Structure 1
Amino acid sequence: MRRRTGRLRTAAAAALFALGATLLAPPPTAAAAAAPQDANDYCQGQCGDILPPGATGNATLVEILGNKLFGTHPEHSTDQLAPYGALASGYQSLTDDTLGSFFNDASFGVPADQAGKVTTPRNDVTITRDKKTGVPHIKGTTRYGTEFGAGYAAGQDRLWLMDLFRHIGRGELTSFAGGALANQGLEQQFWPQAPYTEDDLQAQVERIRDTNGERGKLAMQDAQAYVDGINAYREQSKNGRYFPGEYVLTGHVDAITNAGEIKPFKLTDLIALASVVGGLFGNGGGGEVPSALALLSAQQKYGVEKGTEVWESFRERDDPEAAKTLHDGSSFPYAVKPAKAKGVALPDRGSVTPEPLVFDRTGAATVKSGTQPRDPVKAPKKYKKLEGLFKDGVLPKGSFDPTQHRGMSNALLVSGKHTASGHPVAVFGPQTGYFAPQLLMLQEIQGPGISARGASFAGVGMYVQLGRGQDYSWSATSAGQDITDTFAVELCNADGSTPTKDSASYRYRGACVPMEKLERTNSWKPTIADPTAAGSYRMQVFRTKYGTVTHRATLDGKPVAYTAQRSTYRHEADSIIGFQMLNDPSYVRDAKSFQQAAEHIGYAFNWFYADSRDIAYYNSGLNPVRNPDVDPSLPVKADDAYEWKDYDPETNTTEYTPSAQHPQSVNQDYYISWNNKQAKDYDSAGYGNGSVHRGNLLDDRVRALTKDGGVTRASLTRAMSEAAVTDLRGEDVLPELLRVVNSEPVTDPKLKTAVQQLEAWRKDGAQRRETAAGSHTYTHPDAVRLMDAWWPLMTEAVFKPGLGGDLYDALRANLGIDESPSAGHGPTGAHAGSAFQYGWWSYADKDLRAVLGDKVAGPLSRQYCGNGELSACRDTLLTTLQQASGKTAEQVYPGDDSCKAGDQWCADAIIHRTVGGLTHATISWQNRPTYQQVVEFPAHR
Structure 2
Amino acid sequence: MPRRTPRTAPDRRRTSRRLPGFLKTASVCVLVAGLLTPLTRTAVAATGAAAPNDHCGGRCSDILPPGENGNATLAQILLNQAFGTQPAHAEDQLGPYADLATGYKTLTDATVNAFFNDASFGVPADQIASTEKPAGRTDVTIVRDKKTGVPHITGTTRYGTEFGAGYAAAQDRLWLMDVFRHVGRGRLTGFAGGAPSNQGLEQQFYRNAPYTEADLQAQIDNAVAHNGARGQQALADVKAYLDGINAYIDASDSGRYFPGEYVLTGHKDSITNAGTIDHFKVTDLVALASVIGSLFGSGGGGEVDNALSLLAAQDRYGVAEGTKVWESFRQRNDPEAVLTLHNGESFPYGARPADPRGAALPDAGSVTPEPLVYDRTGSAVTAGAAKTSATAAGTALGSARRGMSNALVVSGKHTASGHPIAVFGPQTGYFAPQLLLLQEIQGPGISARGASFAGLSMYVELGRGQDYAWSATTSGQDIIDTYAVELCQDDYHYLFHGTCTAMEKVEQKNAWKPTVADGTAAGSYTMRVWRTEYGPVAYRATVGGKKVAYTTLRSSYLHEADSIIGFQMLNDPDYVKGPQDFQNAARHINYTFNWFYADSQHTAYYNSGDNPVRATGVDADFPVWAAPAYEWRGWDPAGNTADYTPASAHPNSVDQDYYISWNNKQAADYAAAPWGEGPVHRGNLLDDRVKRLVAAGGVTRAKLTQAMADAGLADLRAEDVLPRLLKVVTSQPVTDPTAAAAVAKLQAWVTAGAKRTETSAGSKTYADADAIRILDAWWPLLVKAEFEPGLGTGLYTALTRNLPVDEAPSAGHGPTGSHAGSAFQYGWWSYVDKDIRAVLKEPVQGPLARTYCGDGSLTACRDRLTGTLKQAAALTAAQVYPGDDQCAAGDQWCADSIVQRALGGIKHGRIGWQNRPTYQQVVEFTSHR
Scaled by the length of structure 2, the TM-score of the pair is 0.95
Is the contact between residue 400 and residue 428 of structure 2 (CA under 8 Å) also seen in structure 1?
Answer: no
Where do 1:727-742 residues align within 5 Å? 727-742=715-730
1:522, distance to aligned residue in structure 2 (A): 0.7
Is the contact between residue 249 and residue 527 of structure 1 (CA under 8 Å) also seen in structure 2?
Answer: no
> How far apart, in 1, do the equivalents of 2:543 and 2:220 lie?
39
1:855-885 Cα offsets, whole Å, 9 max, x none, are: 0000000000000000000000000001001
Root-mean-square deviation (Å): 2.1
Is the contact between residue 280 and residue 402 of structure 1 (CA under 8 Å) also seen in structure 2?
Answer: no
Tell me whether 553-562 or 679-688 shows the greater mean CA deviation.
679-688
| 1:572 has 2:560 as partner | yes
1:37, distance to aligned residue in structure 2 (A): 3.4
| 1:489 has 2:485 as partner | yes
The residue number in structure 1 matching 2:6 is none
1:903-927 Cα offsets, whole Å, 9 max, x none, are: 0000000001000000001000000
Tell me whether 664-673 or 200-209 shows the greater mean CA deviation.
200-209
The residue number in structure 2 matching 1:281 is 296
The residue number in structure 2 matching 1:920 is 908
Q: Give secondary structure in 1 for the equivalent of 2:618.
A: coil
| 1:36 has 2:24 as partner | no
> How far apart, in 2, do the equivalents of 1:439 and 1:721 lie?
23
Query: In 2 relative to 1, CA 800–18 (structure 1 residues): closer, same or farther, beyond 3 Å?
Result: closer
| 1:755 has 2:743 as partner | yes
- Residue from 736, 739, 746 that aligns with 2:734: 746
Where do 1:690-709 residues align within 5 Å? 690-709=678-697
| 1:477 has 2:473 as partner | yes
1:210, distance to aligned residue in structure 2 (A): 1.4
> How far apart, in 2, do the equivalents of 1:188 and 1:196 lie?
13
The residue number in structure 2 matching 1:939 is 927
1:802-826 Cα offsets, whole Å, 9 max, x none, are: 0000000000011000000000000
> How far apart, in 1, do the equivalents of 2:791 and 2:617 lie?
30
- Residue from 846, 850, 854 that aligns with 2:842: 854
The residue number in structure 1 matching 2:38 is 25
- Residue from 238, 263, 266 that aligns with 1:223: 238
The residue number in structure 1 matching 2:10 is none
The residue number in structure 2 matching 1:89 is 102
1:401, distance to aligned residue in structure 2 (A): 3.1
How many residues are matched? 904
Q: Give secondary structure in 2 for the equivalent of 1:681.
A: strand
Scaled by the length of structure 1, the TM-score of the pair is 0.94
Is the contact between residue 633 and residue 685 of structure 1 (CA under 8 Å) also seen in structure 2?
Answer: no
Q: Give secondary structure in 1 for the equivalent of 2:396.
A: coil
Query: In 2 relative to 1, CA 37–744 (structure 1 residues): closer, same or farther, beyond 3 Å?
Result: farther
Query: In 2 relative to 1, CA 24–362 (structure 1 residues): closer, same or farther, beyond 3 Å?
Result: farther
> How far apart, in 1, do the equivalents of 2:696 and 2:208 lie?
47
1:402, distance to aligned residue in structure 2 (A): 3.9
1:202, distance to aligned residue in structure 2 (A): 0.6
| 1:111 has 2:111 as partner | no
The residue number in structure 2 matching 1:382 is none
Is the contact between residue 181 and residue 372 of structure 1 (CA under 8 Å) also seen in structure 2?
Answer: no
| 1:863 has 2:878 as partner | no
Q: Give secondary structure in 2 for the equivalent of 1:260.
A: coil
The residue number in structure 1 matching 2:446 is 450
> How far apart, in 1, do the equivalents of 2:484 and 2:181 lie?
32
The residue number in structure 2 matching 1:332 is 347
- Residue from 159, 167, 184 that aligns with 2:182: 167
> How far apart, in 2, do the equivalents of 1:404 and 1:271 lie?
19
Query: In 2 relative to 1, CA 17–578 (structure 1 residues): closer, same or farther, beyond 3 Å?
Result: closer
The residue number in structure 2 matching 1:459 is 455
Q: Give secondary structure in 2 for the equivalent of 1:603.
A: coil
> How far apart, in 2, do the equivalents of 1:458 and 1:224 lie?
16
Is the contact between residue 250 and residue 530 of structure 1 (CA under 8 Å) also seen in structure 2?
Answer: no
Query: In 2 relative to 1, CA 206–684 (structure 1 residues): closer, same or farther, beyond 3 Å?
Result: same
Is the contact between residue 399 and residue 915 of structure 1 (CA under 8 Å) also seen in structure 2?
Answer: no
1:452-491 Cα offsets, whole Å, 9 max, x none, are: 0000000011000000000000000000000000010100
Is the contact between residue 742 and residue 774 of structure 2 (CA under 8 Å) also seen in structure 1?
Answer: yes
Query: In 2 relative to 1, CA 895–488 (structure 1 residues): closer, same or farther, beyond 3 Å?
Result: same
Where do 1:547-562 residues align within 5 Å? 547-562=535-550
- Residue from 58, 62, 87 that aligns with 2:75: 62
The residue number in structure 2 matching 1:242 is 257
| 1:152 has 2:142 as partner | no
The residue number in structure 2 matching 1:75 is 88
Q: Give secondary structure in 2 for the equivalent of 1:187.
A: helix
> How far apart, in 2, do the equivalents of 1:296 and 1:32 lie?
72
Is the contact between residue 41 and residue 131 of structure 2 (CA under 8 Å) also seen in structure 1?
Answer: no
1:513, distance to aligned residue in structure 2 (A): 0.1
The residue number in structure 2 matching 1:414 is 410
Which amino acid in the other structure matches residue 715 of structure 1? K
> How far apart, in 1, do the equivalents of 2:347 and 2:392 lie?
45
> How far apart, in 1, do the equivalents of 2:245 and 2:519 lie?
30
Tell me whether 517-526 or 437-446 shows the greater mean CA deviation.
517-526
Is the contact between residue 70 and residue 173 of structure 2 (CA under 8 Å) also seen in structure 1?
Answer: yes
Tell me whether 333-342 or 55-64 shows the greater mean CA deviation.
333-342
1:589, distance to aligned residue in structure 2 (A): 0.4
Q: Which runs of 5+ in 2 are unaligned?
A: 1-15, 20-26
Which amino acid in the other structure matches residue 688 of structure 2? D
> How far apart, in 2, do the equivalents of 1:399 and 1:681 lie?
36
- Residue from 779, 782, 785 that aligns with 2:773: 785
Is the contact between residue 338 and residue 631 of structure 1 (CA under 8 Å) also seen in structure 2?
Answer: yes
Is the contact between residue 127 and residue 138 of structure 1 (CA under 8 Å) also seen in structure 2?
Answer: yes
The residue number in structure 2 matching 1:383 is none
Is the contact between residue 180 and residue 530 of structure 1 (CA under 8 Å) also seen in structure 2?
Answer: no
> How far apart, in 1, do the equivalents of 2:193 and 2:456 lie?
24
Which amino acid in the other structure matches residue 855 of structure 2? N
> How far apart, in 1, do the equivalents of 2:899 and 2:191 lie?
25
1:748, distance to aligned residue in structure 2 (A): 1.1
Where do 1:474-553 residues align within 5 Å? 474-493=470-489, 499=490, 503-527=491-515, 531-553=519-541
Is the contact between residue 33 and residue 74 of structure 2 (CA under 8 Å) also seen in structure 1?
Answer: no
Q: Give secondary structure in 2 for the equivalent of 1:573.
A: coil
Q: Give secondary structure in 1 for the equivalent of 2:718.
A: helix
> How far apart, in 2, do the equivalents of 1:316 and 1:664 lie?
22
1:497-545 Cα offsets, whole Å, 9 max, x none, are: xx5xxx1000000000000011111110124666521111111101100
The residue number in structure 2 matching 1:101 is 114
Which amino acid in the other structure matches residue 58 of structure 2? G
Which amino acid in the other structure matches residue 492 of structure 2? A
1:62-101 Cα offsets, whole Å, 9 max, x none, are: 0000000111110000000000000011111111111011
> How far apart, in 1, do the equivalents of 2:685 and 2:114 lie?
25
- Residue from 142, 149, 153 that aligns with 1:127: 142
1:158-188 Cα offsets, whole Å, 9 max, x none, are: 0000000000000000000000010000001
Query: In 2 relative to 1, CA 196–20 (structure 1 residues): closer, same or farther, beyond 3 Å?
Result: closer
> How far apart, in 2, do the equivalents of 1:844 and 1:407 lie?
23
Is the contact between residue 180 and residue 372 of structure 1 (CA under 8 Å) also seen in structure 2?
Answer: no
Q: Give secondary structure in 1 for the equivalent of 2:375.
A: strand
| 1:435 has 2:424 as partner | no
> How far apart, in 2, do the equivalents of 1:44 and 1:368 lie?
58
Is the contact between residue 33 and residue 75 of structure 2 (CA under 8 Å) also seen in structure 1?
Answer: no
- Residue from 711, 731, 736 that aligns with 2:699: 711
Q: Give secondary structure in 2 for the equivalent of 1:896.
A: coil
1:787, distance to aligned residue in structure 2 (A): 0.4
Which amino acid in the other structure matches residue 254 of structure 1? D
> How far apart, in 2, do the equivalents of 1:530 and 1:522 lie?
20
1:370, distance to aligned residue in structure 2 (A): 9.2
Is the contact between residue 678 and residue 684 of structure 1 (CA under 8 Å) also seen in structure 2?
Answer: no
> How far apart, in 2, do the equivalents of 1:437 and 1:27 lie?
19
Is the contact between residue 351 and residue 670 of structure 2 (CA under 8 Å) also seen in structure 1?
Answer: yes
Q: Give secondary structure in 1 for the equivalent of 2:170.
A: helix
